[in-house]
C-alpha cells in the first residue's frame, strides 16, 4: 500500500542529498542566525530534544522544517487540537514539534543542536571507555560495589546522546558503534528491537544512510540463530524496504539490503516474495533495483533446487521453469505497455539467459528422449517468441517520438546481446525477415553513436 511521508508536504531540507545553489544560500543565512546561540542555550535545546525522545519512544518519523513552515505547522495544530495534553512539547520557543509520533525539528537550530549532541556524546564516550578499562583491572567485588552501578548509568547516557546525535548526523559511524558495543554486552531481545526502530527512524529522513542500513544487518546477524522470530523479522525488513523505496526512488542501499535478506530466506519465503513484489515492479518500471531484487530471488530459487539433489528434485524443476517463464511473460507485457524503458530490456537479457541455461542444464540431466524433444521444443518456442518480439518492437511507428526510437534501439541491442551470449541466436537473426530491416540498419537509425556495437557487429560478420 502507498503510504506518503508525513513530512513530505513541508519544505524538506535533505542535507545528504544534493542541494541546488539557491538552497545553499538559504542555509548560509540561517547559519548567521544560529551563531547567536551560546553553548548553554545549545545544551538546553539538546535536553529538550532528548526529553521528547524519552517521552515518546514510538516516534517513527523525523523531519527538518524551515522556520517559515514551522510557524504554519504549529498554528495548524493549535487550531485542530483542543486538548491541553497535546501541547506538552510544542510551545517554549517552537524549535520542536511532536505529535502522533512524528517529530519536527526547526532547521534554525540544527547547527547548535548538532554541535551540542556531538560534544555530549564524545564526552560521555571518553568517560565510559576510561571507566571500562579501569573496571577491567579492578577486583570483581569492587566492580559490584562501584563499577557496575556507574557502568549502567554511563551506558544509558551513551544510548541517550548517541540517539540524539544520530537523528542529526546519520552517518556518524562512531555513534552507531557505541550502540553496538552497549547492546552486544546486554544481549537482550528488546534492545535489539529498539535498535531496529531507531535505524528505521533515521531512515525516515535519510533513506540512503549507509550506516543505518548496515546497523540493521548487524542486528539481524546478532539475532540470527538465537531467536525463533528471525523469519518474521526478515519479512518485516522486506516490507520496510518496500515502504522506503516508495518515497526514495531507485535507492541502491535500500534494495541492496533487501537482496541481502534473501540469503536468510527459505524457498517458500523466496517464492512468496516474488509474488508479493510483482505488482510493485509493474508500477515502477524504471526502478532497475526492484527488477534486480526479483532476479536475486529467482537465482536463489534456482540454486536452491540444485542443493537438494538427493530427494525428489523433478518437481522443483517444473516449478523453477514456471517461475522464469512467468517473469518473462510479465516482462513482455510491461515492455509492450511502457515503451522504451531501459530497465525492462536489461531485465529481459537476464531472464532469457536464465531460461536457456535452465533448459540446457535440464537436458544434461534427463535421459528420456521424450523429455529431450519436449525441451528442444521449448527452446525453439522461446526463440520464435523473441524474434516476434523483436519484429514488433523494432518497427518505429513514429520517428517523432523518442520513446519509439528508444524501444527499437533497446530491442535491437537486446537481440545483439543474446547473440553474444547465446550463439544460436545468430542463425535466427539470419532467418527472420524483420519489417524494419536487419539489425544493423535498425542500430544505424537509432544509435549511430554507440561505437561498442559497431565493433561487435564487425567482429561477428554482420
Partner 1 sequence: MGELAVDKHVQYILSVEKRKDSFESVVMDHLRMNGAYWGLTTLDLLGKLDTVDADEVISWIMKCQHESGGFSGNIGHDPHILYTVSAVQVLALFNKLDVLDIDKVATYITGLQNEDGSFSGDIWGEVDTRFSYIAICCLSILRCLDRINVEKAVNYILSCKNLDGGFGCTPGGESHAGQIFCCVGALAITGSLHHVDKDLLGWWLCERQVKSGGLNGRPEKLPDVCYSWWVLTSLIMIDRVHWIDKEKLVKFILNCQDVENGGISDRPDDAVDVFHTYFGVAGLSLLEYPGLKAIDPAYALPVDVINRIFFSR
Closest contact distance (angstroms) between CB of 77 and partner 1 is 26
What is the rounded distance in angstroms from the CA atom of residue 207 to the CA atom of residue 198?
Answer: 13
Beta-bridge partner residues of 12: 65
Q: How far is the CB of 175 from partner 1 (least distance, A)?
A: 9
Of 56 and 342, CB closest to partner 1: 342
Task: Give me the least distance between CB of 107 and partner 1, in Å please.
Answer: 8
Structural Rg of the chain based on CA atoms: 29
Cell numbers given for 43: 545544551
For partner 1, which is the closer residue by CB, 97 or 291?
Answer: 291
Question: Among residues 13 and 154, whose Cβ is nearest to partner 1?
Answer: 13
Q: How far apart, in whole angstroms, are the C-alpha atoms of residue 295 and residue 290? A: 9
**Helices 230-247/252-261 angle, 10° precision:** 160
In the complex, least distance from residue 55 CB atom to partner 1, rounded to whole angstroms: 26
Contacts by 324-329 with C-beta closer than 8 Å and gap 24+? 324/298, 324/351, 324/354, 324/355, 324/358, 325/355, 327/274, 327/294, 327/298, 327/351, 328/352, 328/355
Minimum distance, C-beta of residue 243 to partner 1, in the bound complex (Å): 19
Output the CA–CA distances (angstroms, integers) from residue 190 to 61, 183, 223, 238, 302, in the order listed.
20, 10, 11, 20, 36
Q: Which phi and psi (to 5°) does residue 97 adopt? A: -145, 125
Pick the closer one to partner 1 by CB: 286 or 430: 286
Nearer to partner 1, 122 or 149 (CB): 122
User: Which one, 74 or 107, has the nearer CB to partner 1?
Assistant: 107
Reduced to 3 states (helix: H, G, I; strand: E, B; else coil), residue 99 is strand
E strands present in 90-130: 96-99, 102-106
Residues interacting with partner 1, by CB under 8 A? Answer: 15-16, 18-21, 23-24, 27-28, 31, 35, 110-111, 114-115, 118, 122, 126, 168-169, 171-174, 177, 180, 214, 217-218, 221, 250, 252, 255-256, 259-260, 262-263, 286-289, 292, 295-296, 299-300, 341-343, 346, 349-350, 353-354, 417, 420-421, 449-452, 455-456
Q: Which of 136, 209, 195 is nearest to 162 (CA)?
A: 195
Which residue number, 24 or 84, has a Cβ lying nearer to partner 1?
Answer: 24
Determine contact, residues 429/413, Cβ cutoff 8 Å: no
SS3 of residue 61 by DSSP: strand
Interacting residues of 423 by C-beta distance below 8 A, sequence separation 6+: none
Kindly state the smallest distance separating residue 111's Cβ from partner 1, in Å: 5
Retrieve residue 5's grid coordinates: 511521508
Nearer to partner 1, 24 or 309 (CB): 24
**Least gap, CB of 219 to partner 1 (angstroms):** 11
Smallest gap from residue 231 Cβ to partner 1 (A): 19
Amino acid at each position: 500500500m502507498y503510504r506518503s511521508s508525513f513530512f513530505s508536504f513541508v519544505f524538506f531540507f535533505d542535507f545528504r542529498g544534493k542541494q541546488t545553489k539557491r538552497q545553499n544560500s538559504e542555509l548560509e543565512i540561517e547559519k548567521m542566525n544560529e551563531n547567536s546561540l551560546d553553548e548553554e542555550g545549545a545544551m538546553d535545546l539538546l535536553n529538550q530534544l532528548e526529553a521528547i525522545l524519552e517521552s515518546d519512544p514510538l516516534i517513527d518519523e523525523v523531519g527538518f522544517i524551515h522556520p517559515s513552515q514551522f510557524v504554519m505547522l504549529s498554528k495548524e495544530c493549535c487550531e485542530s487540537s483542543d486538548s491541553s495534553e497535546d501541547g506538552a512539547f510544542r510551545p517554549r520557543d517552537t524549535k520542536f514539534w511532536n505529535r502522533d509520533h512524528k517529530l519536527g525539528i526547526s532547521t534554525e537550530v540544527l547547527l547548535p543542536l548538532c554541535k551540542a549532541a556531538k560534544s555530549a556524546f564524545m564526552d560521555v564516550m571518553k568517560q565510559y571507555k576510561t571507566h571500562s578499562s579501569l573496571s577491567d583491572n579492578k577486583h570483581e567485588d569492587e566492580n559490584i560495589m562501584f563499577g557496575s552501578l556507574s557502568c549502567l548509568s554511563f551506558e544509558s547516557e551513551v544510548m541517550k546522546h548517541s540517539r540524539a546525535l544520530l537523528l542529526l548526523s546519520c552517518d556518524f559511524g562512531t555513534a552507531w558503534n557505541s550502540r553496538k558495543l552497549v547492546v552486544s554486552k546486554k544481549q537482550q531481545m528488546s534492545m535489539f528491537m529498539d535498535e531496529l526502530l531507531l535505524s528505521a527512524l533515521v531512515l525516515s529522513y535519510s533513506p540512503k544512510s549507509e550506516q543505518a542500513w548496515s546497523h540493521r544487518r548487524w542486528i539481524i546477524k546478532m539475532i540470527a540463530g538465537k531467536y525463533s522470530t528471525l523469519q518474521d523479522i526478515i519479512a518485516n525488513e522486506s516490507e520496510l524496504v518496500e515502504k522506503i523505496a516508495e518515497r526514495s526512488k531507485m535507492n541502491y542501499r535500500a534494495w541492496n539490503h533487501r537482496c541481502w535478506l534473501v540469503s536468510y530466506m527459505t524457498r517458500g519465503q523466496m517464492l512468496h516474495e516474488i509474488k508479493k513484489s510483482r505488482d510493485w515492479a509493474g508500477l515502477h518500471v524504471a526502478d532497475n533495483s526492484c527488477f534486480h531484487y526479483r532476479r536475486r530471488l529467482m537465482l536463489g530459487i534456482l540454486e536452491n533446487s540444485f542443493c537438494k539433489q538427493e530427494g525428489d528434485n523433478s518437481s522443483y524443476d517444473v516449478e523453477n521453469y514456471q517461475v522464469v517463464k512467468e517473469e518473462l511473460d510479465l516482462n513482455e507485457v510491461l515492455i509492450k505497455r511502457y515503451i522504451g524503458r531501459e530497465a525492462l530490456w536489461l531485465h529481459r537479457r537476464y531472464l532469457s539467459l536464465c531460461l536457456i541455461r535452465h533448459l540446457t542444464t535440464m537436458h544434461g540431466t534427463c535421459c528420456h528422449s521424450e523429455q529431450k524433444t519436449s525441451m528442444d521444443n521449448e527452446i525453439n518456442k522461446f526463440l520464435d517468441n523473441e524474434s516476434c518480439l523483436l519484429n514488433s518492437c523494432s518497427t518505429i511507428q513514429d520517428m517523432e517520438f523518442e520513446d519509439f526510437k528508444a524501444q527499437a534501439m533497446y530491442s535491437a541491442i537486446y537481440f545483439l546481446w543474446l547473440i553474444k551470449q547465446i550463439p544460436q541466436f545468430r542463425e535466427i537473426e539470419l532467418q527472420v525477415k524483420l519489417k524494419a530491416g536487419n539489425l544493423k540498419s535498425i542500430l544505424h537509425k537509432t544509435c549511430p553513436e554507440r561505437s561498442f556495437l559497431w565493433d561487435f557487429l564487425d567482429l561477428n560478420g554482420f
